[in-house]
Amino acid sequence: MTTSKGEQLFIDQLMWDQLDIPKAEYRFLKKRRFRFDFAWPDRMMAVEIEGGVWSGGRHTRGKGYTRDLEKYNLATLHGWKVYRFTTQDVTSGTAISFMKNILINKTIMEESYEDISRGLMFPDHIYSSKYEAKDKK
Protein backbone atom coordinates (compact mmCIF):
# COMPACT_ATOMS: atom_id res chain seq x y z
CA MET A 1 0.00 0.00 0.00
CA THR A 2 1.22 3.48 -0.79
CA THR A 3 1.24 6.32 1.69
CA SER A 4 -0.49 9.54 0.68
CA LYS A 5 1.11 12.95 1.24
CA GLY A 6 -1.45 13.64 3.98
CA GLU A 7 -0.68 10.36 5.73
CA GLN A 8 3.07 10.95 5.56
CA LEU A 9 2.69 14.47 6.89
CA PHE A 10 0.54 13.20 9.77
CA ILE A 11 3.24 10.67 10.75
CA ASP A 12 5.90 13.40 10.47
CA GLN A 13 3.83 15.65 12.75
CA LEU A 14 3.48 12.87 15.32
CA MET A 15 7.26 12.35 15.27
CA TRP A 16 8.01 16.08 15.51
CA ASP A 17 5.79 16.28 18.58
CA GLN A 18 7.32 13.06 19.97
CA LEU A 19 3.93 11.36 20.22
CA ASP A 20 3.20 7.64 20.10
CA ILE A 21 3.59 6.37 16.56
CA PRO A 22 0.63 4.27 15.45
CA LYS A 23 0.65 1.14 13.34
CA ALA A 24 0.07 2.02 9.69
CA GLU A 25 -2.44 0.16 7.51
CA TYR A 26 -3.68 -1.77 10.52
CA ARG A 27 -6.09 -4.62 9.77
CA PHE A 28 -8.57 -4.53 12.64
CA LEU A 29 -10.81 -7.46 11.69
CA LYS A 30 -9.24 -10.79 10.81
CA LYS A 31 -12.09 -11.93 8.56
CA ARG A 32 -12.26 -8.67 6.59
CA ARG A 33 -9.77 -6.72 4.49
CA PHE A 34 -10.57 -3.39 6.13
CA ARG A 35 -7.55 -1.45 7.35
CA PHE A 36 -7.17 1.79 9.28
CA ASP A 37 -4.70 4.34 7.95
CA PHE A 38 -3.30 4.50 11.50
CA ALA A 39 -4.16 2.62 14.67
CA TRP A 40 -3.17 2.45 18.30
CA PRO A 41 -4.51 -1.08 19.01
CA ASP A 42 -3.78 -0.90 22.73
CA ARG A 43 -6.11 2.13 22.92
CA MET A 44 -8.64 0.80 20.37
CA MET A 45 -8.20 4.12 18.59
CA ALA A 46 -7.68 4.84 14.89
CA VAL A 47 -7.16 7.75 12.51
CA GLU A 48 -8.34 7.90 8.92
CA ILE A 49 -7.01 10.57 6.56
CA GLU A 50 -9.69 11.10 3.93
CA GLY A 51 -8.12 12.37 0.73
CA GLY A 52 -9.82 13.65 -2.38
CA VAL A 53 -12.86 15.12 -0.63
CA TRP A 54 -12.86 18.18 -2.93
CA SER A 55 -11.87 16.40 -6.11
CA GLY A 56 -14.37 13.55 -6.16
CA GLY A 57 -11.97 11.01 -4.70
CA ARG A 58 -12.85 7.48 -3.63
CA HIS A 59 -14.12 8.56 -0.21
CA THR A 60 -16.83 10.76 -1.74
CA ARG A 61 -18.08 8.51 -4.54
CA GLY A 62 -20.92 6.03 -4.05
CA LYS A 63 -19.10 2.71 -3.75
CA GLY A 64 -16.13 4.06 -1.79
CA TYR A 65 -18.34 6.04 0.57
CA THR A 66 -20.57 3.01 1.16
CA ARG A 67 -17.54 0.80 1.93
CA ASP A 68 -16.22 3.43 4.33
CA LEU A 69 -19.55 3.46 6.16
CA GLU A 70 -19.44 -0.31 6.52
CA LYS A 71 -15.85 -0.15 7.78
CA TYR A 72 -16.54 2.58 10.35
CA ASN A 73 -19.73 0.93 11.58
CA LEU A 74 -17.95 -2.42 12.03
CA ALA A 75 -15.10 -0.66 13.82
CA THR A 76 -17.53 1.02 16.22
CA LEU A 77 -19.35 -2.27 16.77
CA HIS A 78 -16.03 -3.81 17.82
CA GLY A 79 -15.20 -0.99 20.25
CA TRP A 80 -12.90 1.20 18.15
CA LYS A 81 -12.86 4.99 18.27
CA VAL A 82 -12.16 6.27 14.77
CA TYR A 83 -11.14 9.87 14.16
CA ARG A 84 -11.48 11.07 10.58
CA PHE A 85 -9.64 13.98 9.03
CA THR A 86 -9.26 15.41 5.55
CA THR A 87 -5.86 16.02 4.01
CA GLN A 88 -6.59 19.73 4.53
CA ASP A 89 -7.06 19.06 8.26
CA VAL A 90 -3.58 17.54 8.29
CA THR A 91 -1.88 20.33 6.32
CA SER A 92 -3.57 23.05 8.40
CA GLY A 93 -2.48 21.42 11.68
CA THR A 94 -6.05 20.71 12.80
CA ALA A 95 -5.62 16.93 12.84
CA ILE A 96 -2.40 16.93 14.86
CA SER A 97 -3.78 19.49 17.34
CA PHE A 98 -6.86 17.37 17.90
CA MET A 99 -4.96 14.09 18.27
CA LYS A 100 -2.17 15.63 20.34
CA ASN A 101 -4.71 16.57 22.98
CA ILE A 102 -6.05 13.02 23.06
CA LEU A 103 -2.63 11.33 23.03
CA ILE A 104 -0.95 13.57 25.59
CA ASN A 105 -3.83 14.00 27.98
CA LYS A 106 -5.14 10.50 27.38
CA THR A 107 -8.51 12.20 27.30
CA ILE A 108 -11.34 11.04 25.11
CA MET A 109 -12.79 14.56 25.18
CA GLU A 110 -16.39 13.38 25.37
CA GLU A 111 -17.56 16.04 27.81
CA SER A 112 -18.65 18.46 25.14
CA TYR A 113 -18.26 18.11 21.41
CA GLU A 114 -18.77 21.83 20.93
CA ASP A 115 -15.72 22.50 23.11
CA ILE A 116 -13.45 20.42 20.89
CA SER A 117 -14.96 21.57 17.61
CA ARG A 118 -15.20 25.29 18.27
CA GLY A 119 -12.39 26.92 16.37
CA LEU A 120 -10.67 23.60 15.78
CA MET A 121 -12.77 21.65 13.33
CA PHE A 122 -15.11 24.45 12.26
CA PRO A 123 -14.64 28.22 11.90
CA ASP A 124 -15.84 30.17 14.94
CA HIS A 125 -18.30 32.23 12.90
CA ILE A 126 -20.47 29.14 12.39
CA TYR A 127 -21.03 28.82 16.14
CA SER A 128 -20.66 32.40 17.40
CA SER A 129 -24.36 33.37 17.23
CA LYS A 130 -25.38 30.07 18.86
CA TYR A 131 -22.95 30.59 21.76
CA GLU A 132 -23.76 34.26 22.17
CA ALA A 133 -27.45 33.44 22.49
CA LYS A 134 -26.66 30.76 25.10
CA ASP A 135 -24.41 33.10 27.09
CA LYS A 136 -27.09 35.81 27.30
CA LYS A 137 -29.63 33.48 28.93
| pLDDT score of 125 more than 50 | no
Lowest mean pLDDT among 82-91, 92-101, 121-130: 121-130
| Residues in CB range of 39: below 8 A, 6 or more apart | 22, 23, 26, 28, 45, 46, 47
Per CATH, which fold does 5-106 belong to? Endonuclease; Chain A (3.40.960)
Q: Give the residue extent of every domain in the chain.
A: 5-106
Average pLDDT over residues 91-103: 91
The DSSP element (H or E) to which 102 belongs, if any, is: helix 94-105
Confidence at residue 3, expressed as pLDDT on a 0 to 100 scale:
81
Confidence at residue 103, expressed as pLDDT on a 0 to 100 scale:
86
Q: What angle do CA 62, 81, 13 make, to 5 degrees?
A: 90
Give residue-wise pLDDT tens across range 25-75.
999 999 899 999 999 999 999 999 987 665 555 555 567 788 889 999 999
Type of residue numbered 70: E
pTM of the model: 0.72
